[in-house]
Structure 1
Amino acid sequence: MVRLVLVGPPGAGKGTQAAVLGERLAVPHISTGDLFRANIGNSTPLGQKAKSYMDAGELVPDEVTNEMVRERLAEPDAQDGFLLDGFPRTTPQADVLGEILADNGMELTAVVQFDVPEEELVRRMLDRGRSDDTEDVIRRRLAVYHSETEPLLDYYRAKVVKIDALGSVEDITDRALDALGQKKA
């Protein structure tokens, strides 16, 4: 039973690894992006709230995101483990996650940090070829990661497992499984 939070800058391969690790560890991969899409697509009250902010070009407030995560972690498939991708992004969200886990008698297994040199991140994101991924935009996104999300590594210091996220998807997955003490399939 593993309960993981994945942390890493944009372009570190978190989404790719989350999908692979979720499958290999037989736990649900829970991403905030998927939660938003599911709640909005199903017109849930939380989805309608999130959509109203998004339609206005505003960030969805933490309270809405936190509640989506709280509901998702209460679902039966998450009782025996999960992998969180994109949450928490800030230490206040980490406080809320701690409350959610405590309320459910759960504890995090580890926080997996995907480590990639900054110049490699910029190269990867430019190579994706997205029209909105200019070097300036990428560097701003990395600056936001450093100021808002990187403090999670101190917050979770005792639980952080640092993974070298350079190499093939398989190599990185193997490193993560080794670091977590999980058998490779």
Structure 2
Amino acid sequence: MFNIILFGPPGAGKGTQSEKLIDKYKLVHISTGDIFRGHIQQQTALGLKVSTLIANGELVPDSITIHMLEEEIEKTPDAVGFIFDGFPRTVAQAEALDAFLEDKGKVAGVIALDVNEDELRKRIAERQKISGRPDDAAEKLVKRIDEYFNKTVHVLPYYEAQGKLTRVNGIGEIEDIFQNLCKVIDGMK
């Protein structure tokens, strides 16, 4: 199994690039944000709890996130591999993912999309006009970006120490960024 993590702050282009990478490499997309939104939409007990946390711009606790992720992976046992988008967000989640994937094919690599804060704010403001996602609202956006740069970014040294981290410039034309991602992924195989 070939597993990669696409890493970056809110608005970096993870979702856009994931779609293209899934088509090319036939990976199963695992987005914790999509999983959370699914539970929220279905109004499951977990969804109601997650809804409150996300609405306040907070991260969902590791135990809930990891459990939901493991359930999602188990749904597709014949997958060629997975592309993780928005996960892991803490070192504890990274360690749990490594342990869970031990017999399913380890994480081959982590690609961090580098995008500055000004560009992020611009992209999310545009996305909010189109999608209306509540987590893109201006007041929550500041909290989400701060959360990334103050907490989530600390996961990168974990993978860097394993020699699995590659940074890709996330600013530019979508297709150019995609081609750069493909070069990195092809080098992992």
Q: TM-score range by the shorter chain?
A: 0.7 to 0.9
Q: Which residue of 1 aligns with 2:49?
A: 53
Shift of 1:18: 1.0
Q: Which residue of 1 aligns with 2:151?
A: 148
Q: Which residue of 2 aligns with 1:127?
A: 126
CA-to-aligned-CA distance 1:84-136 (integer Å, 9 cap, x gap): 1111111111111111111x2421111110011222112222233447533x5
CA-to-aligned-CA distance 1:132-160 (integer Å, 9 cap, x gap): 533x5433321110122101110110111
Shift of 1:54: 3.4
Shift of 1:8: 0.4
Which residue identity is paired with 2:149? H
Structure 1 runs not aligned, ≥5 long? none
Q: Which residue of 1 aligns with 2:100?
A: 100
Shift of 1:40: 5.9
Indicate the SS of the match to 2:155: helix
After TM superposition, the structure 1 = structure 2 runs for residues 1-185 of structure 1, keeping only pairs within 5 Å, are: 2-39=2-39, 48-54=44-50, 57-58=52-53, 60-76=60-76, 79-102=79-102, 104-130=103-129, 133-134=137-138, 137-157=140-160, 158-181=163-186
**Root-mean-square deviation (CA), in Å?**
2.4
- Identity, in percent, stands at 34
After superposition, the Cα gap between the structure-2 partners of 1:35 and 1:78, relative to the gap in structure 1 and judged at 3 Å, is farther
C-alpha distance in structure 1 between counterparts of 2:83 and 2:181, whole Å: 13
Q: How many residues align?
A: 175
Which residue identity is paired with 1:97? L
After superposition, the Cα gap between the structure-2 partners of 1:164 and 1:23, relative to the gap in structure 1 and judged at 3 Å, is same
Indicate the SS of the match to 2:186: coil
C-alpha distance in structure 1 between counterparts of 2:77 and 2:24, whole Å: 15
